[in-house]
Structure 1
Amino acid sequence: MSTKLLEGERALVTGCAGGIGRGIAKALLAEGATVLGSDIAAPPGEDGIDFLAADLGKRNGWKGLLDGALKKLGTISLFVHSASPRRLEVDTPLSVSEATWDAMTDINLRTGFFLSRELGRHMKDNRIKGRILLITSQHRETPRNLPHYSASKAGMTMVMKELARTLAPDGIRVNAIAPGAIPGGGFVADNLGDLVTQIPIGRAGTPDDIAQVAVAVLSERFGRYVVGTTVEVDGGIGLMSWIPAKA
């Protein structure tokens, strides 16, 4: 009998070229899942994760990814939406452009919803006790000086709750993880040294810190009664108020 937590599962992970998405994809693979990763461009190196390029910034990019993923995997029982545009500290409430706003909300919120909804339908129609996991942020509740980012993550949180309530009767669990400061991927900051000193646990996080929690939530051994929940994985930084307002 396999001791791996996700043996036989088939997973799609967006934002898989690096950072949190890559970390989660590798952790799912290590726990026995067949993993298909997606991003706008393939990551360097080979580690056993199949890859499908998709530009989720395009209006119908999510549809192409959905069709391609189902063609490759046949069925999908796990979905993780980790894709998110890189965010720049200059995109403050008084300076962010419409184009930057649209790019962030299209990938995080619009694509996150439609991919999750259609994969939820797929799981329901195929009687799959599937699991969907959205990567949000602690800034779904607290200001970040990046209104497009915070608003999209807040919206993703409500999308998660709406889908969780709708799909739970069919045995499909929908949840979210809210990471703290995880360098790499979409996190770009010039004050990381100062930030680390304010994290109660005393260090920045790593993609693997998020990935191990993702595995637990997605598994039926540890997460089977976790529904409609956002798990904070932030080293305690959510307890602090560390970003001043600025124009």
Structure 2
Amino acid sequence: MTCMSMKLLEGERALVTGCAGGIGRGVAKALKAEGATVLGSDIAAPPSEDGIDFLAADLAKPDGWRALLEGALERLGSISLFVHAASPRRLESDTPLTVSEDTWDAMTGINLRSGFFLAREIGRHMRDGKIKGRILLITSQHRETPRNLPHYSAAKAGMTMAMKELARVLAPDGIRVNAIAPGAIPGGGFVAGNLGELVAQIPLGRAGTPDDVAQVAVAILSERFGRYVVGTTVEVDGGLGLISWIPAHA
């Protein structure tokens, strides 16, 4: 029997946003471990021990995504994998009746505006270069269920539809666009004062980790496991989506 020693993403060139921590950091490390050349981006650099090549970018700024794309293409030469995991930290106090315009703009600007335009222009780059690339957006369970954080839920819902729109137009060129919707993954932007109560409701009995999401990302992005997956949102939530309980706060 021949041993398949080839790594799943050998030879791929990847750009990962939100790489300084949480899910983005986990995904960047996993792609690198599977043989991809990875360029991570965030406001702050990831820990040096990760060995992730880094390019700083502020995706809350109107032209932040454009500067990142130009810099990434200069560094990588071409992009065959793009993962958008960047998202601001969300605070439980930013409820429908209290969230500010600045907080709304930062959340939707980084998640939806920058995510869409980066994905679209990278998709064009892939199409023009005849690269059968893959694009992955990190959304949330709360793209469909209220979280009492309207700016976050709205941004993730918009990302989900943007993913589907891009998937339809890019699939004929062999470019696959998908999303992952994580459940309770502490770290990064996730902060919950009632985490213990939430975990008690998860069918698998534990909160998730960035690596739980990262391993699914690797599978979707690989041509060995994900080659027929297009326009799909994959839930990585330990079964949380199977229950109706939703954490509430004032």
Aligned-pair CA distance for 1:244: 5.0
Corresponding position of 1:115: 118
Match for residue 157 of structure 2? 154
User: Of the candidates 54, 73, 78, which is equivalent to residue 75 of structure 1?
Assistant: 78
Match of 1:10 among 5, 13, 22: 13
TM alignment of 1:153-192, pairs within 5 A: 153-192=156-195
Q: Distance in 2 between matches of 1:244 and 1:7?
A: 41
1:193 maps onto 2:196 in alignment: yes
Q: Deviations over 1:97-126 (max 9, x none)?
A: 111111100000000000000000000000
1:246 to partner: Cα distance? 4.9
What amino acid is the match of 2:10? Answer: E
Moved more, 160-169 or 41-50: 41-50
Equivalent residue for 1:96? 99
Partner of 2:206: 203
Partner in structure 2 of residue 87 of structure 1: 90
Task: State the 1:236 CA deviation.
Answer: 0.5
Letter in 2 for 1:179: P
**Aligned-partner SS, 1:132:** strand
Q: For the residues of structure 1 that align with 2:204 and 2:178, how far apart are their CA atoms? A: 25
Alignment of 1:27-38 (within 5 A): 27-38=30-41
Q: Matches of 1:123 and 1:193 in 2, distance apart?
A: 43
Identity %, equivalent residues: 85
**Superposed displacement of residue 220, structure 1:** 0.2
| Separation (CA, whole Å) in 2 of partners of 1:178 and 1:244 | 17
Find runs of 4+ consecutive structure 1 residues off by over 3 angstroms.
244-247
Q: Residue type matched to 2:39 in 1? A: L
Structure 1, unaligned stretches of length 5 or more? Answer: none
Q: Give, in whole Å, the separation in 2 of the partners of 1:129 and 1:90.
A: 43
CA distance in 2, matches of 1:219, 1:31: 10
Give 3-state SS (helix, strand or coil) of 1:91's partner: coil
Structure 1 position 49, deviation (Å): 1.2
Answer yes or no: is 1:219 the counterpart of 2:204: no
1:2 positional shift: 4.5
1:48 shift after superposition? 2.3
Q: Distance in 1 between matches of 2:61 and 2:52?
A: 24
Cα drift, residue 241 of structure 1: 2.6
Gaps (5+ residues) in structure 2? none
Task: Report the secondary structure of 1:46's partner residue.
Answer: helix
Q: d(CA) in 1 for partners of 2:216 and 2:248?
A: 31
Counterpart of 1:228?
231
1:44 offset after TM fit, Å?
A: 2.4
Q: What is the number of residues matched between the two proteins? A: 247
TM, length-normalised to structure 1: 0.98
- Give 1:119-130 correspondences, 5 Å limit: 119-130=122-133
Name the TM-score, length of structure 2 as normaliser: 0.97
Distance between the aligned counterparts of 1:20 and 1:242, measured in 2? 24
Aligned to 1:135: 138
Deviation at 1:43, TM superposition (A): 1.9
| Cα distance in 2, alignment partners of residues 67 and 227 from structure 1 | 27
Cα distance in 2, alignment partners of residues 245 and 179 from structure 1: 18
* Residue type of the alignment partner of 1:56: L
Amino acid at match of 2:96: P
**1:54 equivalenced with 2:57 (yes/no):** yes
